[in-house]
Structure formats: C-alpha cells, structure tokens
Amino acid sequence: MTDYSRLREQMVQRQIAARGVRSEMVLNAMRKVPRERFLPQGQGVRAYDDAPLPIGDGQTISQPFIVAYMTEALTLEGGEKVLEIGTGSGYAAAVLAEIAADVYTIERIAGLATMASSVLDDLGYNNVHVRQADGTLGWPDRAPFDGIVVTAGGPDVPDTLKHQLKVGGRLVIPIGTSSWYQELVRVTRFSETEFDTEDLVPVRFVPLIGEEGWDS
C-alpha cells in the first residue's frame, strides 16, 4: 500500500519548505490534508507529484507549492474568515480550513462543487462552505473577508472582490491577458478607498470565467 503520510512529508520538505515557504501554519496544513482524496479515482498515486493535475471539466488541482505559496501570501494568523474563488477539487479549501475559522468557497462548475463538497464533508471540514455560483461576484452576504484567494487567472482584479475585503485584508489572484502566463498579485486594503497592489511571482492558471472575469 502507498504510504501517503510519508509522501506528504517529503512533499512539504522537498517541494515547499525548500522553495522558501516559512509559515509553520501553512507547512503543518500541507502535512495534514490528504491530497490523494481530492483527485479522481485511480489518480491518487500521483497526488504528491510536483505538478498540477487534471480533475475533470478542463480544470486542475494546483501544484502543491503554489497552494502553499498562495496560502502563505494571505498572511493568516489563524481564526480568520476567508473566501476562495475556484473550489475545484476542494483541496486548497481544506488547506485554508486548517488555519482559518471559516472558509467560503465558490465553484462555477456544478459537478465539481458537488464532488468537492462531498469530499470535504467526508473528511470532517465542517468549517468549509461551498457554493456553486459566479465567483467573480464573491459572496456578499458573508463579506467582509480577512482574506480572498482566487485560483483562476483574470484579466483584472474584480472590483467586487476588492470591496469584499476587510480593511487590512489581502486578496491574492493571478492576473494576465494570456491563458499561458499571469502574474500572481496581492492586493491589500488600507481603507475604504485605498488599495495597494504588489506583484509576487509568474504563474499559469485556468481562466477566471464570470461577469468580472473572462467570457465563457
């Protein structure tokens, strides 16, 4: 039988910590979440590959390092309320749920939302709330959020998401005009009207589809 716990520890040491992720909360979350449970049947053997993997409907589960990097970029301290746009398989939501008090996650594809919700429930992540909707419009009746993370690349930062941040909160999102290249950016809200944007690293994500993203 595959020793997934050993593979998880190797992943954390070789793929994540070795590349500069330092947050102990993030590293411990990556150690705990069983990534193999969030892949299609028969694909678990590849769960800890240093790569994104297909999960169906033209979507992917992100490379482990990118999940860890984006989570660390939110600078969570524990106990926050976080919004995730692009649930996918539910893996990144589970990682966030190991740190945050509540994770609200939106997936536009109904089948993926249903599967992710089922896996998260089976694993006991009762603090993850899944909705099938247009993620570019956020979750207004649960706003404001301490952190927002978007796991798809948009042409610009959706204005609606920026304004669902708490003052002092951070939004992490890939931005770019090409589906082959984006820049991961972090937006920090300083006041009701002031936002600061900083570039982090080049990335490649599936497109962010929605009213404030790309047309389907």
Domains, in order of start, for the chain: 4-203 (3.40.50.150)
Which of the four pLDDT bands, split at 50, 70 and 90, describes residue 104?
A: very high
Averaged pLDDT for residues 141-148: 98
Q: Tell me, what's the pLDDT at 108?
A: 96
* Cross-strand pairs, 178: 181
Alpha helix locations (H) across 11-146?
24-32, 64-73, 91-97, 110-122
Confidence band for 125, pLDDT divided at 50, 70 and 90: very high
**Tokens representing residue 186 in the block:** 């972090």
Q: In the chain, pLDDT over 70 holds for what percent of residues?
A: 100
So what's the pLDDT on residue 180? 73
Determine the average pLDDT of the residues in 165-178: 95
> By three-state DSSP, how is residue 197 classified?
strand
Neighbouring C-alpha atoms within 13 Å toward the C-beta of 125? 28
Kindly provide the b/e burial profile for residues 57-80, where b requires at least 16 CB atoms within 10 angstroms of the residue's own CB.
eebbbbbbbbbbbbbbbbebeeeb
Mean pLDDT across 104-120: 97
- Segment 97-110 mean pLDDT: 98
Mean pLDDT of 49-57: 93
Cβ contact 116:89 at 8 Å = yes
For position 2, what pLDDT does the model report? 83
77: its two tokens:
């301290």
Question: DSSP alpha helices (H): ranges in 20-154?
Answer: 24-32, 64-73, 91-97, 110-122
Which element (helix H / strand E) includes 159?
helix 159-162
Q: Is the pLDDT confidence value at 85 over 90?
A: yes
Instruction: Indicate which residue of 62, 118, 191, 216 is catalytic.
Output: 62
What per-residue confidence (pLDDT) applies to 43? 85
Averaged pLDDT, 9-13: 97
Whether residue 216 is predicted with pLDDT greater than 80 in this model: the reply is no
Distance CA 151, CA 105 (A): 11
Decide if pLDDT at 1 tops 80. no
CB 86 within 8 A of CB 132: no
pLDDT of residue 44: 85
> Average of pLDDT values for 189-208?
95
* DSSP 3-state of 104: strand
Average pLDDT, the chain: 96
Residues 170 and 74 sit within 8 Å (Cβ to Cβ):
yes
Banded pLDDT at 8 (limits 50, 70, 90):
very high
CB atoms within 10 A of CB 22: 9
Q: How confident is the model at residue 192 (pLDDT cuts 50, 70, 90)?
A: very high
Measured CA to CA in angstroms, residue 170 lies from 8, 41, 108 at distances of 28, 35, 22
Whether the Cβ atoms of residue 128 and residue 94 lie closer than 8 Å to each other: yes
Q: Provide the whole-model pTM.
A: 0.96
Provide the terminal-to-terminal Cα distance of the chain, rounded to the nearest Å. Answer: 42
62 is catalytic: yes
